[in-house]
């Protein structure tokens, strides 16, 4: 876990965002399943099962980043998840699908595509920063 105060704040914010997003989606798994289905990338039978699983993975990884337990694993998973969200959003936009991301449940349906993309890129940058900071700290020990 990073010890420097600014990076601790970043970890708190990013972990908090994923816990918030995960809780919103866990409360409405069917709504999230519909959002996944809207991307037209996965068949419904897989998407609906992911809709039950992904929110809990986000919540646990958010907690991992905040509490510093299984920290590097949490960072790894969250970085992979955000990368996938960004890729899926861009692919859908290119295909002309006008969809809501579903990243923050239906609370985010009013965010535009570019609003979502900016938010996701900012989170991605924060996660990369945390990873680099953690590695630098590990190499000093």
Determine, following the binding rule CB under 8 A, whether residue 60 of this chain makes contact with other proteins.
yes
Cβ distance to other proteins smaller for residue 5 or 113: 113
Closer residue to other proteins (CB): 91 or 118: 91
DSSP code of residue 69: T
Task: Give the integer Cα–Cα distance in Å for 113 and 54.
Answer: 21
Label residue 28 exposed, middle or buried (CB < 10 Å: 0-12, 13-18, 19+): middle
How wide is the angle at C-alpha 60 spanned by C-alphas 44 and 70, nearest 5°? 130
Cβ contacts of residue 81 below 8 Å, gap of 6+?
54, 57, 58, 61
By CB under 8 A, residue 30 contacts other proteins: yes
Of residues 38 and 108, the one with the C-beta less far from other proteins: 38
Of the pair 61, 82, the CB lying nearest other proteins is at: 61
From 7-15, 56-64, 84-92, 104-112, span contacting other proteins (CB under 8 A): 56-64
Q: Is 56 in the site for other proteins (CB under 8 A)?
A: yes
Binding mask 65-94 for other proteins (x = CB under 8 A): -----xxxxxxxx-----------------
- CA 10 to centroid of chain Cα atoms: 14
Q: Using CB atoms within 10 Å of the CB of residue 2, give its burial: 0 to 12 exposed, 13 to 18 middle, 19+ buried.
A: buried
Interface residues toward other proteins, by CB under 8 A:
26, 29-30, 33-34, 37-38, 40, 44-45, 48-49, 52-53, 55-57, 59-61, 64, 70-77
């Amino acid at each position: 876990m990073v010890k420097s105060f600014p990076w601790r704040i970043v970890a708190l914010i990013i972990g908090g965002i994923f816990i918030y997003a995960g809780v919103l989606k866990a409360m409405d798994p069917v709504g999230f399943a519909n959002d996944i289905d809207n991307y037209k990338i996965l068949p419904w039978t897989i998407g609906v099962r992911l809709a039950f699983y992904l929110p809990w993975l986000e919540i646990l990884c958010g907690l991992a980043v905040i509490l510093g337990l299984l920290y590097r694993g949490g960072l790894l998973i969250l970085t992979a998840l955000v990368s996938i969200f960004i890729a899926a959003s861009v692919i859908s936009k290119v295909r002309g699908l006008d969809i809501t991301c579903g990243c923050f449940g239906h609370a985010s349906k009013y965010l535009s595509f570019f609003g979502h993309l900016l938010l996701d890129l900012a989170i991605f940058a924060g996660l990369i920063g945390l990873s680099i900071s953690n590695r630098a700290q590990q190499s000093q020990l």
